[in-house]
């Protein structure tokens, strides 16, 4: 609450300072080229700036005579009072005379010819005739507020006179003292309190002499070749609010400090305005705004307790997070290792896919060659089959010829012995049959030999054995025919002792095998278009596989890089979590300290005593309203007063 009061006081006064600076700037821009005129206008600018800070201190007369008082104080450069002149403006509503009181000496009417008469106890009566009265006088009465200015150059105190023309680091401190005290009733107790004066000091600092200007309680505005500086203070306000006896670190200023780097410096005049009527402008007169303060403080306590609990939970949570962050790093490391292995595997897959893709051309060429060779094989098998059919036909013809020869030989049984010519004719006939059978030379020679032997044997026997021999030979020829028939199923092995039978059997076997081979080749040839199509589809798929593997390999490098970033980020996260945990502990500790050192003390300071604070503000308001005049005012008359303190300049 006290911080709030301090802020309201300073906010109200700073708003006035800004307005004052604006008014002062306007006045400064209107100065003439004459140095004397410039100084006069500078003086007026500073007066306007200081007056604007205090605002309009007068109140409505409400149909009654009102006294508007201005106290002009001339002081030396250190603030010591040299002369006090008071100007009074009686805003007259009476048609006859006006009664007044004053301690002033050398009273004179400054705007008319109206006369006054002195009475007892500082009373005077003006014959106003319904007009306002303007008069002034002097006094040596003590001022309710004093100011003093001290100067330090490069850390050492120096008098204004000695400061003129010097260079260095200047520190100017204006101290204000409130001497207007009264005992007032605060909740039934007599309490000594100050009249709530507000003071504003204005000065102009040439920019060619003053640089890097700062002020602790006020405002600085640069205007061309000069800085307009206005400081504000509230001497006695902290004591009036009871802040001096509290544990709260709240500073309501009672002084102003200005620093600057100076070169060949001059000490200019300062103008200080003081008034006891500033409570209205900063809102401290509205005590109703504090009616709900007690409830607000209770809510603040509850919220602070929740904040303390929340900060503890935050600290516990961040400490738990900090403890688990090691597991996070371990997991991230494992993930990084896995990603590395994965990316390496992806690179291998890409290499393998590229190798397969590059060899698919060989596969396609091989399949095409196989298809072409299969066609040629099928053609060759057809040729073999045709040749075997020819062999089989020849064997059948030979069998027929043998059978006929056998029949002829059987007929020899009824004939006489054959002549050599007839024998040769028989052998020739048989041999001719064998030629048609397509037997090899060795087979044919074997058969010829057998036939010749049989014919010769028949010739050597007697006529009576011719029939027997012929019959036996006929049976032999029948056997030969049977063997030739068997050759169609067993052509693979040739028996020299029985070549005819062997050849016939081989032809038949080969013929059967060729038929089966041709059937299989037909099936294979029918499947060849599908094989070619499948190989082409396989080649296309392998190409897509290679492209995908290459793209995956490229993306995996990004994954690997991202994993590296994640790993580094994880380490930074752990570090940050550690800092967060430390910060959360510090926050929890700070919140607890804030509660114990600030909120608890605030609650203790005002818990149940909000009425006392309100009573103090009411007392301040009454003191402000009661301070109507410095030089004196008649009982029952309303009025206001302001002080203008001007310190003199020191020439170089």
Segments making up each domain of the chain, as ranges: 2-53+65-276+627-647, 292-610
What is the side-by-side strand order in the sheet with 116-118? 98-101, 123-126, 116-118
Say yes or no to pLDDT of 486 above 70: no
Please give the residue that has the higher pLDDT: either 506 or 42.
42
User: 292-610 has which fold?
Assistant: Helix Hairpins (1.10.287)
d(CA 338, CA 342): 6
d(CA 45, CA 228): 9
**Is residue 127 within 8 Å of 100, Cβ to Cβ?**
no
The per-residue pLDDT of the chain, averaged, comes to 73
- pLDDT band, residue 493 (cuts 50/70/90): very low
- pLDDT band, residue 535 (cuts 50/70/90): low
- pLDDT band, residue 470 (cuts 50/70/90): very low
**Is residue 230 within 8 Å of 49, Cβ to Cβ?**
yes
Say yes or no to pLDDT of 616 above 80: yes
Say yes or no to pLDDT of 73 above 70: yes
Q: Measured on CA atoms in the order 31, 32, 34, 40, is the torsion positive or negative?
A: negative
369-378, 488-497, 578-587: least confidently modelled range: 488-497
Predicted local confidence at residue 14, as pLDDT: 44
Q: What pTM value is reported for the model?
A: 0.50
Predicted local confidence at residue 550, as pLDDT: 76
163-177, 498-512, 546-560: least confidently modelled range: 498-512
Give the contacts of 393 (CB within 8 A, at least 6 positions apart). none
Closest by CA position to 614, among listed 624, 602, 606: 606
**Is residue 92 within 8 Å of 114, Cβ to Cβ?**
no
User: Is 335 in a helix, a strand, or coil?
Assistant: helix
Predicted local confidence at residue 544, as pLDDT: 76
DSSP for 445-477, written as a single string: HHHHHHHHHHHHHHHHS-HHHHHHHHHHHHHHH
Out of 64-78, 366-380, 442-456, 586-600, the most confident range is: 64-78
Predicted local confidence at residue 417, as pLDDT: 52
**Is residue 616 within 8 Å of 186, Cβ to Cβ?**
yes
Predicted local confidence at residue 443, as pLDDT: 62
What angle is formed at CA 122 by the lines to CA 120 and CA 124, rounded to 5 degrees?
80
Out of 361-375, 450-464, 545-559, the most confident range is: 545-559
Out of 66-70, 309-313, 544-548, the most confident range is: 66-70
Predicted local confidence at residue 20, as pLDDT: 41
Long-range CB contact pairs, 494-498, < 8 A, 24+: 494/440, 494/442, 494/443, 496/442, 496/446, 497/446
Give the contacts of 550 (CB within 8 A, at least 6 positions apart). 350, 353, 354
User: Is 287 in a helix, a strand, or coil?
Assistant: helix
Long-range CB contact pairs, 514-517, < 8 A, 24+: 514/381, 514/384, 514/385, 514/388, 515/385, 517/381
Phi and psi of 523, rounded to 5°?
-65, -45
**Is residue 484 within 8 Å of 505, Cβ to Cβ?**
no
The percent of residues above 90 in pLDDT, for the chain, comes to: 29
- pLDDT band, residue 26 (cuts 50/70/90): very low
DSSP 8-state class, residue 103 = -
**Is residue 164 within 8 Å of 652, Cβ to Cβ?**
yes
Predicted local confidence at residue 341, as pLDDT: 74
What is the side-by-side strand order in the sheet with 638-647? 105-109, 133-138, 81-91, 66-75, 638-647, 270-275, 198-206, 226-233, 218-223
Query: In this predicted model, what pLDDT tens digit does every residue of 250-292 receive, in sequence order?
Result: 678 999 999 999 999 999 999 999 999 866 555 555 545 555 5
- Rounded to an integer, the average pLDDT of 440-447 is 66
Give the contacts of 177 (CB within 8 A, at least 6 positions apart). 145, 146, 147, 148, 235
Strand ranges in 250-336 using DSSP code E only, listed in sequence order? 255-262, 270-275
Query: In this predicted model, what pLDDT tens digit does every residue of 409-432 receive, in sequence order?
Result: 555 445 545 567 766 766 676 666
């Amino acid at each position: 609450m006290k911080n709030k009061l301090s802020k309201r006081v300073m906010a109200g006064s700073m708003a006035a300072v800004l307005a004052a600076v604006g008014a002062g700037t306007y006045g400064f821009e209107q100065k003439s080229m004459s140095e004397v005129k410039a100084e006069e206008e500078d003086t007026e600018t500073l007066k306007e700036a200081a007056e604007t800070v205090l605002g309009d201190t007068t109140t409505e007369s409400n149909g009654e005579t009102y006294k508007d008082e201005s106290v002009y104080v001339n002081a030396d450069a250190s603030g010591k009072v040299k002369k006090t002149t008071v100007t009074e403006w009686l805003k007259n509503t009476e048609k006859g005379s006006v009664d007044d009181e004053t301690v002033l000496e050398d009273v004179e009417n400054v705007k008319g010819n109206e006369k006054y008469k002195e009475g007892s106890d500082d009373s005077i009566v003006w014959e106003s005739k319904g007009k306002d009265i303007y008069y002034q006088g002097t006094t040596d009465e003590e001022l309710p507020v004093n100011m003093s200015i001290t100067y330090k150059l490069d850390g050492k105190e120096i008098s204004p006179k000695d400061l003129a023309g010097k260079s260095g680091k200047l520190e100017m401190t204006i101290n204000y003292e409130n001497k207007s005290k009264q005992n007032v009733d605060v909740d039934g107790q007599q309490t000594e309190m100050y009249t709530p004066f507000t003071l504003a000091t204005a000065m102009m600092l040439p920019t060619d002499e003053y640089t890097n200007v700062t002020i602790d309680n006020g405002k600085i505005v640069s205007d061309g070749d000069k800085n307009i500086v206005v400081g504000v203070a509230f001497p006695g306000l902290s004591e009036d609010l009871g802040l001096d006896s509290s544990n709260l670190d709240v500073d309501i200023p009672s002084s102003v400090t200005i620093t600057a780097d100076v070169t060949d410096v001059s000490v200019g005049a300062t103008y200080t305005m003081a008034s006891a009527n500033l409570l209205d402008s900063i809102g401290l007169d509205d005590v109703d705004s504090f009616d709900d303060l007690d409830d607000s403080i209770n809510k603040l306590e509850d919220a602070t307790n929740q904040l303390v609990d929340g900060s503890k939970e935050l600290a516990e949570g961040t400490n738990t997070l900090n403890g688990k962050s090691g597991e996070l790093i371990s997991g991230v490391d494992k993930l990084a290792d896995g990603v590395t292995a994965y990316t390496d595997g992806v690179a291998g897959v890409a290499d393998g896919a590229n190798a397969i893709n590059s060899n698919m051309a060989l596969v396609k060429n091989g399949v095409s060659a196989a298809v072409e060779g299969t066609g040629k094989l099928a053609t060759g098998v057809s040729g073999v089959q045709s040749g075997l059919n020819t062999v089989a036909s020849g064997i059948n013809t030979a069998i027929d010829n043998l059978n006929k020869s056998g029949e002829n030989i059987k007929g020899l049984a009824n004939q006489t012995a054959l002549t050599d010519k007839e024998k040769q004719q028989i052998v020739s006939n048989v041999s001719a049959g064998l030629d048609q059978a397509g037997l090899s030379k060795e087979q044919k020679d074997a058969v010829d030999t057998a036939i010749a032997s049989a014919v010769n044997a028949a010739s050597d026997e007697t006529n009576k054995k011719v029939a027997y021999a012929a019959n036996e030979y006929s049976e032999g020829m029948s056997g030969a025919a049977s063997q030739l028939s068997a050759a169609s199923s067993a052509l693979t092995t040739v028996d020299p002792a029985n070549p005819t039978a062997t050849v016939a059997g081989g032809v038949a076997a080969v013929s059967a095998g060729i038929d089966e081979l041709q059937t299989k080749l037909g099936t294979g040839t029918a499947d060849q278009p599908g094989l070619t199509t499948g190989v082409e589809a396989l080649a296309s798929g392998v190409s897509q596989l290679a492209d995908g593997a290459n793209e995956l390999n490229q993306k995996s490098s990004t994954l690997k890089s991202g994993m590296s970033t994640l790993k580094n980020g994880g380490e930074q996260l752990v570090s940050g979590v550690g800092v967060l945990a430390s910060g959360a502990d510090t926050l929890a500790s700070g919140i607890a300290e804030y509660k114990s050192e600030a909120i608890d003390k605030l609650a203790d300071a005002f818990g149940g005593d909000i009425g006392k604070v309100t009573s103090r503000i009411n007392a301040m308001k009454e003191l402000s309203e009661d301070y109507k005049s410095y030089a004196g005012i008649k009982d029952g008359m309303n009025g206001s007063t302001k002080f203008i303190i001007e310190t003199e300049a020191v020439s170089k």
